[in-house]
Amino acid sequence: MSKPNGLNSDDSNSGIKLLDRDGSILAFNERVLDWAKRPEVPLLERLRYLCIVSSNLDEFFEVRADLHMSAFRNGDTKGIYNIKTFETVYHTARDLVAEQYSLYNAVLLPSLHKVGIKLLSHGERNLAQKKWVQDYFRREVKPLLVPVGLDPAHPFPQVANKSLNFIVQLSGKDAFGKSNDIAIVKVPRVLPRVIPLPAKVAGHGKAFVLLSSVIRAHLNDLFPGREVGQFSQFRVTRNSDLSVDEEEVENLRTALRKGLQHRQYGQALRLEVSDSCSEHLSDFLLKQFSLPKSALFRAAGPVNLVRLSQLIDLVDDPAFLFPAYQSSFPKQLKQGESIFARMQKGDVLIHQPFESFDGVLAFLKEAVEDPQVLAIKQTIYRTGSDPAMMNLLREAVRRGKEVTAVVELKARFDEEANINWAEQLESVGAQVVYGVVGLKTHAKMLLVTRREGRVLKRYGHLSTGNYNPRTAKLYTDLSYLTCDARMTADMDTLFVHLASPSRLGRMNKLWAAPFLLQNNMVQKIESVGAAAAKGLPARIVAKMNSLTDPVLIHALISAGQKGAQIDLIVRGACMLPAGIPGKTDNIRVRSIIGRFLEHSRVFFFEADTVQDIYLSSADWMSRNMTRRVELAWPVLELSLRQRLIDECLLAYLHDTRNAWTLDADGKYRRVEKQGRKPQSAQALLMQKYSPAQSKSR
């Protein structure tokens, strides 16, 4: 059962305290960890969920913890971030980490061993295995390690963010007769963290050793003539938010490149050590990183569980993984037929990953190869390392088309990849711009201009998710293809705004942030509340990743108090306390955690006889409404609206396998139905869109 999120900001009109955002983020990770606990989940997938939680916690400390740490250091006792929130957040995170290691040691490791997948510690290795590990250490590892003995000439070294290191206490004196007793061993990132033993020494099944265990067993080899006493692995997590004043720099790309060099050495926020680490050594490290004791995390195993995901890839046994799922080609499209011709008959909706992202790639490929296409414009936020879309854009330039790419250089943790893509596109002649100063461009749109007779016609793609072929297989998202003249004109208007200093022109159908998106959403919510006050049908169903914007939260609370029935499907952080008797009892919040990461944003409003459905790139967070360029667009075709209601709203409201509900006290409770077979929205959609089902239609 989740811990209370804690209470935060207060609505002065309703007197309702909102739930704490960071507590809600940590509660989300508890729900993810639940998948690692489920015995019905394939074993390696359980390990994967354990690794995902560790990755999420790393990002939480890199991005969110600095606010709490700064408040602690400043002695703040008031405000959203203060000494109390610091202690609460770190305590909750520490409990979550302890739960992870308990599950890892007591359940996952024994279960892996039982099926012949062994992670052998030094004490578990037989003589042949120890000999092989020793040879591996001396051949592959030792040449890359440079132990640093600390003395006035060798101060404590720079330790990179999330890197593996060892601290060692030595007895005796070095070659110069000095008794420097503390040494640091930095472990290069190029070394694999999980090492398979060859079959000749592995024994039955598959055997592996962790790099940390290999180094730990051979620390004496690194200090000849000295005796190794106490030692410990350690890892420090640092603030990784890049801060660049766009008003002051002449070249944002150059400034970000310089900033990336320093990201690895930002302010320390968390120290992880082995659970056996002595207090003497942990105190020494805390002092070096200027951290309080509350920032110390003791790990009952490897200090970086994220890197255990390598084991999943090394084993690669389908028996311990989810059954492979093959997305079907989008049902509204036909392979080999013109997508432009299909779009002229009506809009196209692609429900990823149940339907393949190949439909989006096919649209761009057709645009690139069509001699009648004159221009292609696209926003780029997180494309990842897959070169498919970038190769198509480069080919478009080669064929003489005008290509404009709005590249968001400040997409957190993708800055370097996006800088590289920007430089590659510029090198072949594409027009690359970086959007509006001070705002992130998070809108996902692709616009194609085609000559058809004497007129130019536009074809557009809008999406709730990124142009990333890899994550398109892992995230639920919605792609929308349209040649509606009003919507594509709005897209062109926004592209002009992003590429030039002109003001945003009048928009017909699309709502853009930071201009009117928040206001228009509030007006929709208020119209539902007004209908409820008159006793008319009034309903809101909203699906998103996060709900943390106080303006929209208070509008929902007000509408609910007027009688509107409101269902919110919020995967992650949610600050709206649902179900408070007499205050928010008309509002229900549920979270779906499944095999795929829920990422689509769908908003349904019913006020009397008017029903509207919008899709969006934006979650209901303050940053999305006021500090980003975002889009929401209406779904106008009745058949597509019904698909969205059936597949993205009703299916998730009826999910009884992977759903959690948020109680008034801020705790999440797993939905359980007695006497009936649990229903999973994602499983139903996988079945509906499987290629076998597609062929039978």
| Residues involved in catalysis | 442
Interatomic CA distance for residues 345 and 640, integer angstroms: 13
Quick one: which of 67, 433, 86, 421 has its CA closest to 241?
67
- CA gap 554, 529 in Å, rounded: 12
* Cβ atoms 376, 430 nearer than 8 A: no
- Residue closest to 607 by CA, chosen among 650, 649, 564, 558: 564
Closest CA to 612 of 524, 495, 505: 524
CA pair distance 653, 382, nearest whole angstrom? 30
Cα distances (Å, whole numbers) of residue 298 to 29, 235, 286, 304: 19, 11, 13, 11
Single-letter residue type at 90? Y
Which strand (E) or helix (H) includes residue 496? Answer: helix 485-499
Torsion angle (degrees, nearest 10) of CA 520, 467, 638, 635: 10
Q: Sort 258 into a burial class: Cβ within 10 Å, 0-12 / 13-18 / 19+.
A: exposed
Cα–Cα distance between 647 and 592 in angstroms, integer? 14
3-state secondary structure of 564: coil
For residue 143, say if its preceding peptide bond is cis, omega within 30 degrees of 0: no
Q: Which amino acid is at 147?
A: P
Q: How far apart, in whole angstroms, are the C-alpha atoms of residue 335 and residue 363?
A: 11
Q: Which two tokens stand for residue 312?
A: 């999943």
DSSP letters spanning 75-117: T--SSSS-HHHHHHHHHHHHHHHHHHHHHIIIIIHHHHHHTTE
From the list 27, 7, 23, the residue with the least C-alpha distance to 669 is 27
Distance CA 533, CA 527 (A): 10
Task: Please tell me the distance from the alpha carbon of residue 627 to that of residue 623, in angstroms, as a whole number.
Answer: 5
Name residues whose C-beta falls within 8 Å of residue 128's C-beta, 6 or more positions apart in sequence: 201
Q: Output DSSP code: residue 197.
A: P
Whether residue 170 contacts residue 229, with contact meaning beta carbons closer than 8 Å, is answered with yes
Spatial contact of 180 and 235, defined as CB atoms under 8 Å apart: no
